[in-house]
Chains A and B, each alone.
Chain A
Amino acid sequence: DTEVTQTPKHLVMGMTNKKSLKCEQHMGHRAMYWYKQKAKKPPELMFVYSYEKLSINESVPSRFSPECPNSSLLNLHLHALQPEDSALYLCASSQPRGASSYEQYFGPGTRLTVT
């Protein structure tokens, strides 16, 4: 099973709202990622968690707050977003550094619209 699930599929929120995106995997992967993807562009890395610890933050604004409650779950908390934050938010997972393979598996994404 190479499935990464994400909820919700679609989210519309106002600039003053607080919402969360959720991601789950049951492949035993210990690295999980958040990406942002704009139309006709490749995914842009936002955060990496390795063994439930934040290992990479790609200078993402503080209105995005990641959380990794356990090895299977990854959340992205959203607050005071801007319209330009509207995008497809992708979660991915892989074995961590030092493993025998590193391929990343992506979820279906959450399409976020900020009004």
Chain B
Amino acid sequence: QKEVEQDPGPLSVPEGAIVSLNCTYSNSAFQYFMWYRQYSRKGPELLMYTYSSGNKEDGRFTAQVDKSSKYISLFIRDSQPSDSATYLCAMRPRGAGNMLTFGGGTRLMVKP
């Protein structure tokens, strides 16, 4: 079993829809959680960064962490075709140096 599980998709939604992307993890020591967006053949772009449990909002994006369930989510409101990309979750324990554990990525397609 992988430490971080993420549905590979593809997830196809119409423009304007609310998108929910999720990761589950098994290591209860994970404390820092990140979401990256990666366009085809480009480097990952950091979208959201959260510490421990709770919600964080930035524009159309909301990141949620539920440590009791070992479950994190990224919500995208009013999705746009430009949001079509692969979304990677990443996480790391506190005090574990600099190593991130990535999910496999979910490919999102937003259709006009």
CB distance from B60 to the nearest CB of A (A): 19
Which residue of B is nearest A50, CB measured?
Answer: B98
Interface presence of B78 (CB below 8 A): no
- Whether the pair B46, A104 counts as a contact (CB closer than 8 A) is yes
> Which residues from chain A contact B41 at a C-beta distance below 8 Å?
88, 109, 111
Q: How many inter-chain contacts with C-beta < 8 Å in the A-B complex?
A: 63
A21 an interface residue at 8 Å Cβ cutoff? no
- For the complex, would chain B's binding face be called helix, strand, loop or mixed by DSSP majority? loop
69-112 of chain B: CB within 8 A of chain A? 88, 90, 92, 95, 97-100, 102-105
| Chain B residues, CB < 8 A from A55 | 97-98
A84 interfacial by beta-carbon distance below 8 Å:
no
Residues of A participating in the B interface, judged by any CB pair closer than 8 Å: 2, 4, 6, 31, 33, 40-43, 45, 48, 50, 55-56, 88, 90, 94, 96-97, 101-109, 111
Contact A104 B43 (CB under 8 A): no
- Interface size for B (C-beta < 8 A) is 23
A53 CB, min distance to chain B CBs, angstroms: 13
Query: Are A106 and B44 within 8 A (Cβ)?
Result: yes
Interchain nearest-CB distance for B86 vs A (Å): 8
| Residues of B with C-beta under 8 A to A97 | 95, 97-98
Minimum CB distance partner of B103 in chain A: A42
Chain A positions within 8 Å of B19 at CB level: none
Contact at A103–B46, with CB atoms within 8 Å? yes
In the docked arrangement, what's the CA distance between A40 and B43, Å?
13
B63 at the interface (CB under 8 A from A): no
Chain B residue at minimal CB-CB distance from A99 = B98
Structural contact, B43 and A106, CB atoms closer than 8 A: yes
